[in-house]
Amino acid sequence: MKKELTNRFLESLSPPDVGRLEISDTRRQGLRFRLSASGKATWMFEKRVKGGKKRKHTLGAWPEPVSLSDARAMALEIEAEATRGIDRVAIAEASKIESESSKHQVLTVLEVLNLYDKLHLSTLRRGKDRYRQLELALAGHLANPMAELGRTDLQKAVDAKAEEGYRISANRTRAALLAFSRWAWGRNYISADIGAGVPKATKENSRERVLTVPEVRQIWEASYEMGLLWGPALRLIILTAQRRGEILGLRWDEIRMGETQIVKPGTRTKNGKPHTTHLSKPALEEIRLLKERLERGETCENELGLVFTTTGTTPPSGVSKAKTKLDKLLGDEFQPWNIHDIRTAFATAMVERGVPENVADRVLNHSAVGSAPSAVARVYNRAGMLEQRASALDAWADLVTSQGNTVDAANLIEMRRASL
């Protein structure tokens, strides 16, 4: 039974003769009121954790200590955590295992890593990637007691990655190992902070590669030979100047065609801040074409409402393979680049053409630069400059799709329509 629950309605209920009565609250999806034949009334809330399992939470008895308003507030809090990937049930289970294990046995590196995953990594957006990174780095030690892991073991893992030629990746491995060992030290699984003093594999400098506008146009034109998945995704990355993951993870409920905007909540952005991105005419056309394919049944609807997906449950993988194909299309004379360089190209080209730096920064969803802004400035910068940002992206779209192209934007759109 489903109903918007009220205190008067709950007070009017009588216990069933047998079994239990269960009513779902339509105001807070997933919240249920249960009344047993004995007269005991309790609250239960069910919610799927982002990237994980559907979990049931017992909130307490009604009317004391948990009233209707209390239950809704508790459900909202759990829902917010689940949206960020925080699994209360897993954390509670891990804490119990941790408590029992520390009393009865010596934990292995793998067991401590699994606890680290449940208590910490599971709360991070890219926690699964970090777990895999640590698992590979510590592969030769997973079965050993955690207490025996030493600084030399961490250093060897970093050096091994560097010797393969991946020095930047070696630095990332070092950062992951240091965070893990510090966490383990804080919980007394090791007697010292063994990561302290492990040097970086290489000194990192800011990338100096800046794609020119003609180079971005080359990438734009080559995208039309990248198929119906990677082609539109790449063009939207170019047109919006947004992070690769935020476009590949784009959802239909984030697109507001009438307002010509993409509106992402903070839970789906890298820096955790809500962000609005203007959609230029070419960007809107790309989205309309994608929508048409969906309506014709050429792409499947999925539970998460993902715009780009091959599995129906996750954003597309295989970026490296797609980039390799794109590089072949661009030819050997095209200088090495990465997809993130498109963002730098946007900022450079627009600022050179008179767009203020702070406007370009807001388009890219960067934090404020320079000195710390005042409270008023922080509010203004979060919500304002939308018109200026829209103008910058419109100018960028015109620059990329029209000026000096061997094939103009209108013809490319017609080519795309013909390919569908």
229-268 pLDDT, tens digit each: 999 999 999 999 999 999 999 999 999 999 999 999 888 8
Which residue bears the tokens 């508790």? 74
Q: What is the DSSP string of 318-370?
A: -HHHHHHHHHHHH-TTSPP--TTHHHHHHHHHHHHTT--HHHHHHHHTPPPPS
Does the structure show a pLDDT above 60 at 15?
yes
Quickly state the pLDDT bin for 405 (edges 50, 70, 90): very low
CA 145/CA 147 separation, integer angstroms: 5
Per-residue pLDDT tens for 139-179?
999 999 999 999 999 999 999 999 988 888 899 999 999 99
Q: What pTM does this model have?
A: 0.55
- Across the range 22-28, mean pLDDT stands at 92
Per-residue pLDDT tens for 75-95?
999 998 888 888 888 888 777
Tokens at 127, concatenated: 């926690």
Question: DSSP 3-state assignment of 191?
Answer: coil
List beta partners, residue 60: 43
Per-residue pLDDT tens for 104-113?
458 999 999 9
Angle between helices 109-119 and 88-104 (to 10 degrees): 150
Does the structure show a pLDDT above 90 at 53?
no
Beta carbons of 252 and 305 less than 8 angstroms apart: yes
- pLDDT, averaged across the chain: 86
Which pLDDT belongs to residue 416? 40
Tokens at 248, concatenated: 């590949």
Beta carbons of 201 and 162 less than 8 angstroms apart: yes
- Across the range 213-227, mean pLDDT stands at 95
Per-residue pLDDT tens for 276-304?
999 999 999 999 999 998 888 877 677 77
Which pLDDT belongs to residue 202? 85
Tokens at 220, concatenated: 């734009």
Mark 338-348 as b/e (b = at least 16 C-beta within 10 Å).
Answer: ebebbbbbbbb
Quickly state the pLDDT bin for 417 (edges 50, 70, 90): very low
Q: Is 370 or 61 the better-scoring residue by pLDDT?
A: 61
Q: What is the DSSP string of 130-154?
A: HHHHHHHHTGGGTTSBGGG--HHHH
Which pLDDT belongs to residue 375? 42
CA 308/CA 248 separation, integer angstroms: 6
Q: Which of 296, 314, 295, 294 is nearest to 304 (CA)?
A: 314
